[in-house]
Structure 1
Amino acid sequence: MAPTVAAPDAKPHTRKAVGLAARDTSGRLAPLTITRRSTGDDDVAIKILYCGICHSDLHSIKNDWHITMYPIVPGHEIAGVITEVGQNVTKFKAGDRVGVGCMVNSCQSCDRCNEGFENHCPGIIFTYNSVDHDGTVTYGGYSSNVVVNERFVVRFPDAMPLDKGAPLLCAGITVYSPMKYHGLDSPGKHVGVLGLGGLGHVAVKFAKAFGMKVTVISSSPGKKQEALEQLGADAFVISKNADEMKAAMGSMDGIINTVSANIPVAPLMCLLKPNGKMIMVGLPEKPLEIRPFDLILGNKSLTGSCIGGMRDTQEMIDLAAKHGVTADVEVVGADYVNTAMERLAKADVRYRFVIDIGNTLKDAE
């Protein structure tokens, strides 16, 4: 389809797309023809070329959080090219390289939206498994095309490859935002990155781009060489090694906790300097257990962070392009996605699967 501009007097219509959908708790993904809305006045239509696979996609297709609406088409790390723009669109034009992250709408009028924190809007609409303002269920980026309000679209700089950049729309902003807002973006400061997976490896790269000292904290000794030689971390601490943990005690200004496993938090708080912060971005299933003394002694904080607003997401992708920060990816075809999910469940990926939508998933006729 040739790039076009939506006609002002065009009658409402819908467009078809092909999505990879799970229909039940087995999480098995298979092609499904879905409907996208027409390109509204404030919308852009995007031909999806790549979509990253996030661990939350795996939880969602299996209904691990008990909120899944089947059929579900996951995917919130979308990269592609605009094919059509609405008559009110000013930021983009057909042919632009763009991305869509974890949200596709909000109320756009509350204080949080006005301040640029759409991610904290009570009316946030997520990219998939959410109910949009028109009552339809949103479908994600494991699909051939999508229509999104221009406010929730980011521009990809020319220097940012679409395949390696797609995961930054979730993994990147998830670690960039807490670094920015908790003062962990200053040269010379020392940040710990707990966990070296899809989130953690990007956190290391951003921290180095900020000029910080970075220590990776992991229970897997086998990741030491990757952390130090491939990702550029300054140090590596094995969390199960009492001597290494003791040597690192009181040395870090902050810790980005990317781990979703249920692990003790208290021993990790000991790694922080006075006034240090641990920021949770992983999602353990069980409640955290921590004694008040672990926070009070040293005036330490335990806090959380959830992605970021659209202004910060564009800022993040621009900074990433400037400093050459991309995700380490394994690009797979649409026919491999179920195998990729099985491997993801076993943490058998370095560090992010990305689906080659454009070349392997046929669009609807």
Structure 2
Amino acid sequence: MSGYPHTFRGFAIADPRDWASPKLTEFEPKKFGARDVDIEVECCGICASELFSLKNEWTHAPLECLSSAYGPKSQVVGHEVIGRVVAVGDRVTLCRVGDRVGLGAQCCACMECARCVAGNEQYCARAVGTYCDRYPDGYVSQGGYASHVRAHEQFCFPIPEAIPSELAAPLQCGGLTVYSPIKRNIAGLENPKVAVIGIGGLGHMAIMIARALGAEVTAISRTNSKKADAAKMGAHGFVATAEPGWQTELQDHFDLILNCASSTTALDLDALLPTLKVNCNFISVGLPHVDEDFRGVKPFTFFSNGCCLGSSKLGSREEAIELFALAAEHGFRPWVETLPVSEAGVHEGLTRLDKGDVRYRFTLVGFREFFGTA
């Protein structure tokens, strides 16, 4: 690729103790494969999972990238990318140079196993995350707080023109993460009822998406502080679990409870699970600190209605494209505050997110101007 950059630039950390202060660095991307796509980044959302990764709170092991014998010794995060395709491999058929595409939290899968063939490529045993994950050759993936990002074509999603880039960015991960379990759990139901726990980065999109899919939506939070916001997002009802007896009138009510909270310590499953209808699911998509678990749930709670406790991982390419079409058709958009990309901008976004000072997503913008790639 004559004249094409052989190194990318991005904001990286080398030590979890410095998680809030990524530094501008230059790094080599992974080896370019026949089905790989290079995206010139236009903007990138900031996701809470990046905080957990940068602070190394999802594992007790050393930060993966720091022990790598391949690639950079520091980590660039970011997995809610919007940009233009600037290079494609010889076998790429799903996009072309010049297309505006999005990339979420997964950048590769084998595309050959039973899960991939069945449209569940997000559960592939050989899946590679967009950052801080290893390819088979040992290279550690680098994310979207960068000038460019390289990924398998399967995970580069076409974006409808109706959705502005800074608003499309959070849909790549946060939106898809909630869309997949909502769709899979209420598909085919008449007048489904969905509860969304945690009105934050994930939960506020879950409310909009569940409503657009035809559900009656109840927002659940500890207090009433976000009640007005939840109504603006489209929630039909609101529950504050700090109020005693909140569950009395909700027994046998929900077809799905979707937990979007990033901590499990305040969840009272013995109160929540009986509000599910028979054989319906409590699905958790908010991943907490590695040391947190579900506490206090008793086997008799499950016995009363045959409910199930489970989780969901990301979403498939097909589901991503469905989600973007749904957003374009119904006009719902994530609530986004934009920040200019720079060391200071990344620092501000990460530290404010860590304090909960966001309603309800950040998108870093101005990549082409900063990196001179426009």
2:255 matched residue in structure 1: 253
CA RMSD of aligned residues (A): 2.0
Cα distance in 1 for partners of 2:190, 2:46 equals 32
Change in Cα spacing, 1:294 to 1:360, as seen in structure 2 (3 Å) is: farther
Q: Of 19, 23, 28, which residue of structure 1 is paired with 2:10?
A: 19
> Residue 41 of structure 2 aligns to which amino acid in structure 1?
I
Deviation sequence 1:47-70 (CA, Å, 0-9, x none) = 101111111100111111235224
Q: If the length of structure 2 is used for normalisation, what is the TM-score?
A: 0.89
Do structure 1's residue 316 and structure 2's residue 307 form an aligned pair?
Answer: no
Mapped partners of 1:243, 1:268: distance in 2? 11
Q: Which residue of 2 aligns with 1:293?
A: 300
Instruction: Report what 2:107 is aligned to.
Output: 104
**Hey, what does 2:353 align to over in structure 1?**
344
1:178-214, Cα deviation, whole Å (9 max, x unpaired): 1122126745111100010011011000111011111
Using the alignment, how far apart are the partners of 1:360 and 1:194 within structure 2? 38
**Counterpart of 2:226?**
223
The corresponding residue for 2:151 is 148
**Superposition pairs of residues 229-240 of structure 1, within 5 angstroms:** 230-240=232-242
Compare 231-240 and 324-333 and name the one that shifted more.
Answer: 324-333
Q: 1: CA distance between counterparts of 2:369 and 2:359? A: 22
Contact 1:144 1:357 in 2 (8 A): no
Residues 38 and 148, structure 2, Cα contact 8 Å, conserved in 1: yes
Aligned counterparts of 1:51 and 1:265: Cα–Cα separation in 2: 35
Aligned AA for 1:150? E
> What CA distance in whole angstroms lies between the structure 1 residues aligned with 2:337 and 2:163?
17
Does the Cα contact within 8 Å between 2:274 and 2:305 map onto a contact in 1? Answer: no
Whether the 8 Å contact between 1:126 and 1:138 is mirrored in structure 2 is yes
- What residue in structure 1 maps to residue 71 of structure 2? none
Q: Does 1:281 align with 2:285?
A: yes
Q: Secondary structure at the match of 2:242?
A: coil
SS of the residue 2:194 aligns to: strand
CA contact (8 A) 1:188 1:211 kept: yes
Q: CA shift at 1:252, angstroms? A: 1.5
C-alpha separation in 2, matches of 1:158 and 1:38: 31
1:38 deviation in Å?
A: 6.0
Show the counterpart of 1:358.
367
Match of 1:3 in 2: none
What is the CA–CA distance in structure 2 between the aligned matches of 1:105 and 1:306, rounded to whole Å?
A: 14
Worse overlay, 238-247 or 155-164:
238-247
Counterpart AA for 2:85: I
Amino acid at match of 2:254: M
Q: Partner of 1:138: helix, strand, or coil?
A: coil
Q: Which residue of 2 aligns with 1:333?
A: 340
Kindly indicate whether the alpha-carbon contact (under 8 Å) linking 1:42 and 1:150 is maintained by their aligned counterparts in 2. yes
Q: Given that residues 218 and 236 in structure 2 are in contact (C-alpha distance below 8 angstroms), is that contact kept between their aligned partners in structure 1? A: yes
Q: CA deviation at 1:139?
A: 0.3
Segment of structure 1 superposing worse, 264-273 or 122-131 = 264-273
1:30 aligns with 2:23: yes
- Report the 3-state secondary structure (helix = DSSP H, G, I; strand = E; otherwise coil) of the residue aligned with 2:151: strand
Note if contact 1:186-1:211 (Cα within 8 Å) is conserved in structure 2. no
Q: What is residue 69 of structure 2 aligned with on the other side?
A: none
Question: For the Cα contact (< 8 Å) 2:274–2:304, is it kept in 1?
Answer: no
Q: Tell which deviates more after alignment, 257-266 or 115-124.
A: 257-266
Higher alpha-carbon deviation: 315-324 or 73-82 = 315-324
Contact residue 30 and residue 139 of structure 2 kept, 8 A = no
Partner deviation per Cα, 1:142-161 (whole Å, 9 max, x = no partner)? 10101222122111111122
Return structure 1 stretches of 4+ with deviation > 6 angstroms.
none
Aligned to 2:70: none
Distance 1:175 1:133 in 2: 29
1:48: which partner in 2?
Answer: 41
1: distance between equivalents of 2:126 and 2:311?
A: 20
Secondary structure in 2 matching 1:63: coil
Q: Aligned-pair distance for 1:312?
A: 1.8
How do 1:159-198 residues align onto structure 2 when only pairs under 5 Å count? 159-183=162-186, 186=189, 188-198=191-201
Task: Give aligned pairs, total.
Answer: 354
- For residue 32 of structure 1, give the secondary structure of its aligned residue in structure 2: strand
Please state how far the C-alpha of 1:276 moved relative to its aligned partner: 2.7
Query: CA-to-partner distance for each residue in 1:62-108, whole Å, 9 max, x for gaps?
Result: 11123522411111111111112223222211111101111111122
1:287 is matched by which residue type in structure 2?
D
Identity of aligned residues (%): 35
Q: Structure 2 unaligned segments of length 5 or more: list them.
A: 67-73
Q: 1:302 aligns with which of 306, 309, 317?
A: 309
Offset of 1:336 from its aligned partner? Answer: 1.6
Structure 1 unaligned spans of 5+: 1-5
TM-score computed with the length of structure 1 as normaliser: 0.91
